[in-house]
């Protein structure tokens, strides 16, 4: 086995977490104790926003009027793609009833959560697509109340018009002009809306991600998210220009966004390393600086001998986004296991998945793709079970359960079985000891 790092990262996605955790924990305590007044204070201090927190319908209508028709048409196209894919997800999981042996009838129900809190980033970039991915999917799942929040832009800017238009189109019941930790706290505690979230979803910076992590348990979350990641697997058939372009396209998310290349071609690896700076330099600031820092500190290029080694290494990264620029795409689809979303072939860029192709772009990072997928209709739905049994079923199920309970030392459980057997079958004698 031969693995050679032609460029190795000096930092990992976990770098700098401790300081963030302490700061966010203190803010959440302040916000829970201080409520809406404290949230307004943070909005003013951090976003310079003193306007209304609940966005009025008039402001949403004005936002739509401020957008060009082409952008609105594009948003509607992307909404249809995301909605259609989410509807197919919903249809893929069914309620059922089944007859088990001994007279037990059991089933599964799919029940949407009541309230979803959808965080939509809007600081450095206006994340139009994140509004589509979170709000649309919640609506398709059947969530009763969908509360969205996004940061206001300065003293008079308010929430970005495109985000307002998109969140309203996707079906948000309420939109809050709040970002960061104070936005997450408002969603979780039901500030301003009166509807505490059952689940918090949506991407965000490290403070948003940490707030969700701390609140997990009190509320559900979509996943533990960190900075955006991309990995590209490429062989000798790949176009180094497109590989370099795609790596930089994700690195512009922020200075801590990992970008990894795994290749079976040493020549391609060298060519990509040469071309990445060119694609960074064509960006404008602040994107250029973010991508430059991300590539310097988090970029890796790894040269391997075989595609099996590439699979093993990629599954170890468990990247959020995984592109494959290689021959025999079906082989890669069959053998790769750990990724948030897979993009097969050079025609299928992460950019398309981020913006409009259909599958959800809210995906696991920091290796979480080893055990979970991204946001889906299922995240907003509780899969619950029910059961009913005949009295006669107690002959078998009751005696077995009582014996297991006694073997565990749980005699109260055992008596619950004993008492039913005594009621339903008073003339019978059962072996109730393990």
Tell me the pLDDT tens digit for each residue of 150-171.
999 876 679 999 999 999 999 9
Query: Which of 181, 184, 219, 222 has the alpha carbon at shortest distance from 201?
Result: 222
pTM of the model: 0.92
Tell me the pLDDT tens digit for each residue of 107-143.
999 999 999 999 999 877 788 999 999 999 999 999 9
Instruction: Find out whether the peptide bond into 8 is cis, omega within 30 degrees of 0.
Output: no
Q: What is the DSSP letter of 53?
A: S
H/E element, 12: none
pLDDT at 126: 84
Across the chain, what does the average pLDDT equal? 94
pLDDT at 433: 86
Query: Which of 352, 351, 354, 356 has the alpha carbon at shortest distance from 76?
Result: 356
* Over residues 244-252, mean pLDDT: 97
- The total number of residues shown for the chain amounts to 434
Secondary structure (H, E, C), 210-273? HHHHHHECCEEECCCCCCCCEEEEECCCCCHHHHHHHHHHHHCCCCCCCEEEEECCHHHHHHHH
Contact 54, 174 (CB under 8 A): yes
pLDDT at 431 over 90: no
Query: Which of 107, 106, 108, 102 has the alpha carbon at shortest distance from 390?
Result: 102
Tell me the pLDDT tens digit for each residue of 75-112.
999 999 999 999 999 999 999 999 998 889 999 999 99
Any residues with CB less than 8 A from the CB of 250 and at least 6 apart, and which? Answer: 228, 229, 230, 257, 259, 321, 350
Contact 389, 397 (CB under 8 A): yes
* Over residues 291-312, mean pLDDT: 97
Number of helical H runs and strand E runs in the chain: 17, 14
Least confident interval from 12-21, 106-115, 190-199, 283-292: 12-21
* Over residues 364-391, mean pLDDT: 95
Query: Which of 192, 128, 208 has the alpha carbon at shortest distance from 160?
Result: 128
Provide the b/e sequence for 198-235 (b: ≥16 CB within 10 Å): bbbbbbbbbbbbbbbbbbeeebbbbbbbbbbbbbbbbb
17-222 with 227-373: one CATH topology? yes
Fold of the domain spanning 17-222: Rossmann fold (3.40.50)
| Residues paired with residue 261 on neighbouring β-strands, in sequence order | 232, 301
Tell me the pLDDT tens digit for each residue of 221-247.
998 878 899 999 999 999 999 999 999
Tell me how far apart the alpha carbons of residues 317 and 304 are, in angstroms, rounded to a whole number.
Answer: 15
DSSP helix/strand/coil, 398: helix
Q: How many CB atoms lie within 10 A of CB 1?
A: 8
> With bands split at pLDDT 50, 70 and 90, how would you rate the model's confidence at 310?
very high
CA atoms within 13 A on the CB side of 134: 35
Any residues with CB less than 8 A from the CB of 385 and at least 6 apart, and which? Answer: 106, 107, 108, 109
pLDDT at 16: 65
pLDDT at 1: 59
Tell me how far apart the alpha carbons of residues 301 and 324 are, in angstroms, rounded to a whole number.
Answer: 15
> With bands split at pLDDT 50, 70 and 90, how would you rate the model's confidence at 13?
confident
Tell me how far apart the alpha carbons of residues 365 and 13 are, in angstroms, rounded to a whole number.
Answer: 8
Contact 236, 268 (CB under 8 A): yes
pLDDT at 42 over 80: yes
Q: Are strands 104-112 and 96-100 parallel, antiparallel or unpaired?
A: antiparallel
Structural domain 227-373, CATH architecture: 3-Layer(aba) Sandwich (3.40)
User: Domain ranges in the chain?
Assistant: 17-222, 227-373, 390-434
Active site amino acids? 320-321
pLDDT at 150: 97
What is the CA angle 211-216-221, rounded to 5? 90
């Amino acid at each position: 086995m031969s693995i050679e790092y032609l460029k190795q990262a000096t930092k990992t996605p976990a770098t700098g977490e401790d300081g963030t955790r302490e700061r966010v924990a203190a803010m959440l305590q302040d916000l829970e104790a201080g409520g809406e007044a404290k949230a307004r204070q943070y909005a003013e201090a951090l976003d310079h926003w003193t306007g209304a927190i609940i966005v009025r319908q008039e402001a949403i209508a004005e936002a739509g009027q401020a957008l060009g028709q082409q952008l609105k048409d594009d948003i509607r196209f992307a909404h249809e793609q995301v909605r259609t894919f989410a509807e197919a997800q919903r249809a893929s999981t069914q309620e059922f009833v089944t007859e088990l042996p001994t007279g037990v009838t059991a089933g599964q129900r799919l029940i949407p959560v009541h309230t979803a809190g959808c965080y939509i980033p809007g600081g450095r970039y206006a994340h139009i697509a994140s509004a589509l991915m979170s709000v649309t999917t919640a609506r398709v799942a059947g969530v009763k109340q969908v509360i969205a929040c996004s940061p206001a832009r300065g003293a008079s800017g308010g929430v970005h018009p495109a985000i307002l238009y998109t969140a309203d189109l996707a079906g948000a019941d309420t939109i809050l002009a709040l970002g960061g930790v104070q936005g997450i706290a408002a969603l979780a505690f039901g500030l301003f809306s009166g509807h505490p979230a059952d689940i918090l979803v949506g991407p965000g910076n490290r403070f948003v991600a940490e707030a969700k992590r701390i609140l997990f348990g009190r509320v559900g979350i979509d996943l533990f998210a960190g900075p955006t990641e991309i990995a590209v697997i490429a062989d000798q058939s790949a176009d180094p220009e497109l590989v370099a372009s795609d790596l930089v396209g994700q690195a512009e998310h922020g200075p801590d966004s990992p970008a990894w290349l795994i290749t079976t071609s040493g020549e391609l690896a060298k060519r990509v390393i040469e071309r990445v700076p060119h694609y960074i330099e064509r960006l404008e600031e602040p994107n250029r600086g973010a991508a430059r820092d991300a590539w310097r500190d988090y970029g890796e290029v790894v040269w391997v001998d075989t595609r099996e080694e590439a699979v093993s290494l990629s599954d170890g990264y468990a990247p959020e986004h995984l592109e494959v620029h290689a021959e025999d795409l079906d082989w890669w689809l069959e053998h790769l296991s750990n990724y948030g979303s897979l993009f097969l072939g050079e025609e299928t860029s992460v950019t398309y998945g981020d913006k409009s192709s259909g599958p959800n772009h809210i995906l696991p990072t920091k290796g979480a793709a080893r055990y979970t997928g991204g946001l889906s209709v299922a995240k907003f739905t509780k899969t619950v079970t029910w059961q009913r049994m005949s009295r006669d079923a107690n002959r078998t199920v009751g005696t077995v359960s009582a014996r297991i309970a006694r073997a565990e030392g749980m005699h109260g459980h055992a008596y619950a079985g004993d008492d039913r057997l005594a009621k339903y079958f008073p003339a019978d004698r059962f072996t109730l000891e393990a």
